[in-house]
Structure 1
């Protein structure tokens, strides 16, 4: 006689995708490690991250490393096999590559970046545990019309569509080109990470195919965004190539279109705690593909 293996039932602490928007206070810490935990972030860095939900690092990687990663990014973009892969997302208007997902599996160069202690060590400090890669990608955002990313909380999507139970994940966006105030830079509402906004409306099947180019499900109402902006303000991130922005999974953030001639390219890595591994989606009919929401919870070493 055999016993069927069942996915454990996990309480939904953050309801979303229902008939109306729902506001839920954050249930977990922001910084999970004990004071003085070893790693590249200082105690001041961690206090700033806990307060605002983000942390800027001016020299995350060196100029030589920027050149290395940009060369590898350009190689991937130019590879017809990569472009034809479902992990490559193409701009609907220009037909230029917008993003390439799971780059740490497509490229040993980016895999080494994920394992770099300057990167993964800071993630472990923030999350207080070993971590795995929930998602990785390069965002190219070429000039002359690359579309932006509308306001959203990543955790809302990862919870609803990937089954991430708690707010124990952190993202890092490492600039491979200069982040200007004109080329569609990242905007975050400071302090918004302490409030979860559950969005209205059901999740369509295979929603990811549309949302990777233009979001619809999981986007807040105009009224909710206005209240959040009034309460928290908006911070625009600029910086040299090689700088990085670390931000909590529940930050309300977005970016505008890039109509300048200057690309805004970055490598984006999401680290999730191994103690917060994804279960079944909380508000979607099926899981998203693994190249978007990983099901391999092997710790980064």
Structure 2
């Protein structure tokens, strides 16, 4: 296993001086072997039956997490956000590079009280706590929109690679919860995953540009595996796809390899996307980027979700 930061190249000297051990070096100048994960996948105790396969697969599907009435209410809520003229020009709103439609709205729990209330419910935050074995805080929240005829997919990637390199997340002790607000078909850009790939970290090539987030949130070119890497990983792990009715959800490990295709159908796809990180895994300085990303993308408010909810109720 390869460990330790590479300090011989000029690009590494541009970063803040640090004596940290980097167990997941990435954004390298030369190809490096894949790293087999030594960190646990499940840090706590799984009690929800839907999560029983999480350790082996790196993901779990939770059917009917939201009721049809809740799906309708949250669907209307995110529709209002996308159409809010006050938010146009806000850096939290990302538009499609070609179609010009809203692609994502970040920090959505601070823009929508219903979503903030949903996040704090035990049926939501409790899923993350079981896997991560500690109190959790929100590393990132967003709504993803994939409109019909114009929704652009996401190339294959591991979220942890980006969060480690650009946000300073030390270990893959984070999970994402994607809650479907529309039906996910095999043909409208639904998420593809490689089951078991969370056990392998794929180092990526290329120096992280300044303010890389401005481009990567629309189209990511750095921090993505090579075609050879993806070919190897797909042969080793295979590919599954998350499909299901609106209201279902996908909980997945931060290092799970995943991606999605463009949506060329008339059926839009939208979801609420919540990233929970352990309070024992808080962000440091970036491991492979010249500066921190903005806090609406990578929060540095480490208050546990449940404590934050109680504080809001007391106000």
Which TM-score band (shorter chain)? over 0.9
Structure 1 position 19, deviation (Å): 1.3
**C-alpha distance after superposition, 1:196-232 (max 9, x if no partner):** 0010111001110000000100010111100000000
- 1:1-301 to structure 2, matched below 5 A, reads 10-22=20-32, 23-34=34-45, 41-42=48-49, 45-301=50-306
- In 2, are the aligned partners of 1:21 and 1:197 still within 8 Å (CA)? no
Structure 1 position 47, deviation (Å): 3.5
Q: Quick one: distance in 2 between partners of 1:177 and 1:160? A: 32
More deviation, 89-98/249-258: 89-98
**C-alpha distance after superposition, 1:112-145 (max 9, x if no partner):** 1111110101110010000000000000111112
More deviation, 227-236/86-95: 86-95
Map of 2:11 onto structure 1: none
- In 2, are the aligned partners of 1:24 and 1:197 still within 8 Å (CA)? yes
Q: Quick one: distance in 1 between partners of 2:277 and 2:91? A: 23
Give secondary structure in 2 for the equivalent of 1:178.
coil
Q: Quick one: distance in 2 between partners of 1:226 and 1:284? A: 27
Q: Which runs of 5+ in 2 are unaligned?
A: 1-15, 307-315
**C-alpha distance after superposition, 1:138-182 (max 9, x if no partner):** 001111121100000000000000000001000010000000111
Q: Quick one: distance in 2 between partners of 1:258 and 1:264? A: 8
Structure 1 position 21, deviation (Å): 3.2
Q: Quick one: distance in 2 between partners of 1:223 and 1:140? A: 30
Q: TM-score, length-normalised on structure 1?
A: 0.94
- In 2, are the aligned partners of 1:7 and 1:280 still within 8 Å (CA)? no
Map of 1:3 onto structure 2: none
Aligned residues between the structures? 290
Q: Quick one: distance in 1 between partners of 2:111 and 2:17? A: 29
Q: Which runs of 5+ in 1 are unaligned?
A: 1-5
Structure 1 position 59, deviation (Å): 1.0
